[in-house]
């Protein structure tokens, strides 16, 4: 993994987390959580793509296709796990 590929991966995963936060809304703590979850999902998706031998959306040494899918899955799971209970509202 080269440094430019790593930095591009961080940039793409940060953008995915910020876009998800813009779509779902929230405060600063949820923005940081969304970006962190996106980073984790992105790099785990990349690693899974390397081990599985997937070459979908490969950009240099970065398995962008599987990494983006991993980030989206983790963002969805993170939203589902960390959403606040909205009770007592009329």
pLDDT tens digits, one per residue of 4-54:
999 999 999 999 999 999 999 888 989 999 999 999 999 999 999 999 998
This prediction has a pTM of: 0.87
In eight-state DSSP terms, residue 88 is S
Q: How far apart are CA 88 and CA 48, in angstroms?
A: 42
The pLDDT of residue 68: 95
Tell whether the model's pLDDT for residue 89 goes beyond 60.
no
The pLDDT of residue 87: 56
For residues 61-90, one letter each, b for 16 or more C-beta atoms within 10 angstroms of the residue's C-beta and e for the rest, the string is ebbbbbbbbbbbebbeebbeeeeeeeeeee
């Amino acid at each position: 993994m080269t440094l430019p590929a790593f930095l591009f991966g961080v940039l793409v995963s940060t953008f995915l987390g910020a876009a998800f936060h813009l779509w779902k809304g929230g405060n600063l703590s949820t923005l940081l959580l969304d970006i962190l979850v996106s980073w984790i999902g992105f790099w785990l998706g990349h690693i899974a793509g390397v081990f599985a031998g997937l070459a979908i959306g490969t950009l240099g040494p970065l398995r962008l296709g599987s990494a983006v899918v991993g980030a989206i899955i983790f963002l969805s799971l993170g939203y589902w796990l960390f959403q606040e209970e909205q009770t007592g509202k009329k």
